[in-house]
A and B are shown apart, each in its own frame.
Chain A
Amino acid sequence: MIRSFPENSPVVDIVKVTKVYPPDIVAVQNVSLAVTKGEMLFLTGMSGAGKTTLLKMICCIEKPNKGIIEVGGQDVSRLKQKKIQQLRQQIGVVYQDFKVLPKQTVFQNIAIPMEVMYRSPREIRKRVDELLEILGIPHKKDIQTEKLSRGEQQRVAIARAAANAPPLILADEPTGNLDQEAAKDVMGLFEKLNREGSTIIIATHDKSIYESTRHRKIELEHGLFCSQIVHKQLPLIDM
């Protein structure tokens, strides 16, 4: 299911990006970062550090005021509407506020990205069942999401982001509302997707999910990179 970005360039390449919200709130300042194919990266930092803004810019919800963001070799701030739509089909995003549709069932919510790509109904059913099994909520399939707990809604949002097994997954506080067991399931799913080839960027301030991993971690503070922990050989990072 994974459609790949070009092999020889970083999946995400952020070069000296600054984002200022009116009147003069600096969310991200002069940040540079390269994320290679198949990498799992943790963006850490306190609330307001700029993690969410960075993710929003990567998936074309926000545009940078300065600098360049390339995803799959394409400068996202120069993309036309049609290209943005195509790019978004290759990015699975877990939003901090979930963005699940309350009146629709768990199945319907998770099926949306696959329907958008006109996958066969059989394929959709199979994939939804598989994801719900991994996330531990197979019995909730036909329940409206408004009747679920926050933690369950979050898992639906994660399943939706993973539905197409996209080449790039962005997750904003994906374990924020989950207990330890559920958080472990979610991280297990991310690990599985990562092993299957997806590049994953997780923005979180939950130390428990990244402390023990060997993946790269970058800490943001007031919109600036303040530290980086690298456990293995990693691509060029221009800071």
Chain B
Amino acid sequence: MAHKTYFHIKQTCRNIRQSWSTQLMTMMTVSLSVLIFTFFLLIYMNILNAGEKLGDELRMIIYLNEEVLPEVEPMYEKKITDFGDVEKIVFINRAEAFARLGNQLDSERDVLEDLGPDFLPPSIEVYPEKNFRNLTRLKQFSDYLTTLPGAQKVQYGQTWVERFGYFIELLRVVVILSGVLLIMATVFMVSSSIRLTVVAKEAELEVLRLVGANNKFIRTPLMIEGVLQGLLGSALGMGLLYLIFMWTQVHLTGPGFLNIFEFAFFKHETTASIIAIATLLCTGGSMISTRKHMRI
């Protein structure tokens, strides 16, 4: 067993030495594909996390014509929960709304002095459950809430939520496309480089066949080549991504829009999975090429 491994590794090293420039190009292509894919994936995952956090603050405000009397509150609650589960419902009367505004204005509350405590409309604040916080569902919920008795209008920062939703959708498409790019580039490049190895080693493969080398002896080093290209290429890609991440942490922090996001790198398991998948893809590419181009 030890001898077998020794000869397979020795043969792999010989192959790599013989065509190191092709091997390097393949590895760089794998790295670049992994870098592109993981770059978008990292942004996507971080924005999803940010969206989750912002979603915790999401509430729908139903402005009413008249205040809701305590005895009809259960009726409103029932009507609202008929559409779907909500985390909580808060009834705000005019006085409470006025007090809140005063608190928000803080030191500038004196601007409210000339206004009566009933100039703000009463409202109901609805905090939807997380499970129906997608854009379509929120719209449907908003439309439903406008049908409640006495409802003037419903607000939940539609424009912002919609834009955020579209942005996430766009990013999802980019992640999928870069994933497809990763698959195509790795499989194609690795299978091409193995094909070149096979062509370059035609005479050697003939001699191996003539001295009775079995399929395993001939194919295993080529498979190891694919594994190495995948492993080293994807590890390099992930390493580059980490450097970019560290750079952004140092240079792009501070006040502003980016502060909403707490940028985090992939978990160790995710990193390991990405490297493992890229390695598997490269191994697959190598096996396909070996079977297709090598007559044993």
Which A positions have Cβ atoms within 8 angstroms of B? 59, 61, 81-82, 84-91, 93, 95, 99, 101, 103-104, 112-113, 115-116, 118-121, 160
Least CB distance, A59 to chain B, in whole angstroms:
8
B203: which of A84, A85, A101 is its contact (CB, 8 Å)?
Answer: A101
6 A–B contacts, CB within 8 A, in A order: A81-B296, A89-B212, A104-B204, A115-B7, A116-B214, A118-B7
Interface residues on B, range: 20 to 34
Known interface pairs A115-B7, A118-B4, A118-B7. Does A99 touch B206 (Cβ–Cβ under 8 Å)? yes
Contact across chains for A121 and B212 when beta carbons are under 8 A apart = no
**CA A121 – CA B4 in complex, angstroms?**
11
Q: Are A118 and B208 in contact (CB under 8 A)?
A: no
Q: Are A113 and B6 in contact (CB under 8 A)?
A: no
CB-nearest residue of chain A relative to B11? A115
Contact A112 B7 (CB under 8 A): no
Q: Given the complex of chains A and B, what is the CA–CA distance between A85 and B211 in angstroms? A: 8
Enumerate chain B residues within 8 angstroms of A88, measured Cβ to Cβ.
209-212
Q: Is the CB of A85 within 8 A of B6?
A: no
Interfacial chain A residues near B180, Cβ < 8 Å: none
Query: Which residue of the partner chain, among B3, B210, B212, B215, contacts A119 with CB atoms under 8 Å?
Result: B3
Residues of B within 8 A of A89 (CB): 211-212
Measured CB to CB, the residues of B under 8 A from A are 3-4, 6-7, 10-11, 18, 203-204, 206-215, 217, 296
Q: Report the separation of the CA atoms of residues A115 and B9 in the bound assembly, to the nearest whole angstrom.
A: 12
- State whether A118 and B3 are in contact (beta carbons under 8 Å apart), knowing that A81-B296, A101-B203, A101-B204 are contacts in the complex: yes
Q: Are A85 and B213 in contact (CB under 8 A)?
A: yes
CA distance A59 to B212 in the complex (A): 10
The smallest C-beta distance from A202 to any residue of chain B, in angstroms, reads 18
Report how far A36 CA is from B21 CA in the complex, Å: 52
CB distance from B222 to the nearest CB of A (A): 16
- Chain A nearest Cβ from B9, distance in angstroms: 12
> In whole angstroms, what is the CA distance A93 to B3 when docked?
24
Cβ of B296: which chain A residues have Cβ within 8 Å of it?
A: 81
Q: Which residue of chain B has the shortest Cβ distance to A120 in the bound complex?
A: B3
A121/B6 in contact, CB under 8 A:
yes
Do residues B3 and A85 form an inter-chain contact, with CB atoms below 8 A? no
Chain A residues whose CB sits within 8 angstroms of the CB of B213 once the complex forms: 85, 116
Q: In whole angstroms, how far apart are the Cα atoms of A90 and B4 in the complex?
A: 19
Contact B217 A116 (CB under 8 A): yes
Q: Contact at A87–B210, with CB atoms within 8 Å?
A: no
Cβ of A99 and Cβ of B212 under 8 Å apart?
no
Complex Cα distance, B204 from A190, in Å, reads: 25
Question: Other CB < 8 Å A-B pairs besides A89-B212, A99-B207, A115-B7, 19 of them?
Answer: A61-B210, A85-B215, A87-B212, A88-B211, A88-B212, A90-B212, A91-B212, A93-B210, A99-B203, A101-B207, A112-B207, A112-B208, A112-B211, A115-B10, A115-B11, A116-B208, A116-B211, A116-B214, A118-B3
Q: A121 — which chain B residues lie within 8 A by C-beta?
A: 3, 6
CB-nearest residue of chain A relative to B10?
A: A115
- The reply to whether B3 and A113 form a contact with Cβ atoms under 8 Å apart is no
Residue contact B7 to A86, C-beta cutoff 8 Å: no
Q: Which residues of A are found within 8 Å of B203, using beta-carbon distances? A: 99, 101
A119 to B3, CA, bound (A): 7
How many Å lie between the Cα of A104 and that of B212 in the bound state? 19
Per the bound structure, the CA–CA distance linking A104 and B15 in Å amounts to: 12
Report the Cα distance A90→B215, complex, angstroms: 17
For residue B6, which residues in chain A have a CB less than 8 angstroms away from its CB? 121
Q: How far is the CA of A61 from the CA of B217 in the complex (A)?
A: 20
Q: Report the separation of the CA atoms of residues A93 and B217 in the bound assembly, to the nearest whole angstrom.
A: 20
Q: What separation, in Å, do the CA atoms of A81 and B217 have in the docked complex?
A: 14
Q: How far is the CB of B5 from chain A (nearest CB, A)?
A: 10
The CA of A120 and the CA of B10, in the complex, are separated in Å by: 13
Q: How far apart sit A90 and B10, CA to CA, in the bound complex (Å)? A: 24
Rounded to whole angstroms, the CA-CA distance of A118 and B6 in the bound complex is: 9
